[in-house]
Amino acid sequence: GESVGLHLPTLSVQEGDNSIINCAYSNSASDYFIWYKQESGKGPQFIIDIRSNMDKRQGQRVTVLLNKTVKHLSLQIAATQPGDSAVYFCAEDDTGGAAGNKLTFGGGTRVLVKP
């Protein structure tokens, strides 16, 4: 269940450092955004979400920032751990929740945590 993609951008980070993963979205009508983590052989795992009426949301060790002006989304992971090594996807939804939602995924970023 991994996105193997030969052209997948990779972020190498030292254990304990903070990670920032960026995502540019294309649809200005999107009102809901999610970050997913995908480990090898598994399905996408929900990390955190944010609605378009917010610009920042914090979770446990993670923060999502939304800049609607430039259509940019980022995920910050504090004190990155070896278990954070995975492929991270952003996804957007422009349905307004009116039709059961339809997520459009980005291409993904591979995060490698060095011990």
Partner 1 sequence: EPEVTQTPSHQVTQMGQEVILRCVPISNHLYFYWYRQILGQKVEFLVSFYNNEISEKSEIFDDQFSVERPDGSNFTLKIRSTKLEDSAMYFCASSTTRRTGGREQYFGPGTRLTVT
User: Least distance (Å) from partner 1 to the CB of residue 32?
Assistant: 6
Q: How many angstroms separate the CA atoms of 96 and 100, rounded?
A: 9
Q: Which is nearer to partner 1, 16 or 97 (CB)?
A: 97
Q: Which is nearer to partner 1, 100 or 115 (CB)?
A: 100
The amino acid occupying position 99 is A
Q: Which is nearer to partner 1, 13 or 34 (CB)?
A: 34
Contact present, 46 and 33 (Cβ < 8 Å): no
Site string for partner 1, 86-105 (x = CB under 8 A): ---x-x-x-x-xxxxxxxxx
Q: How many helices (H) and strands (E) does the chain have?
A: 0, 10
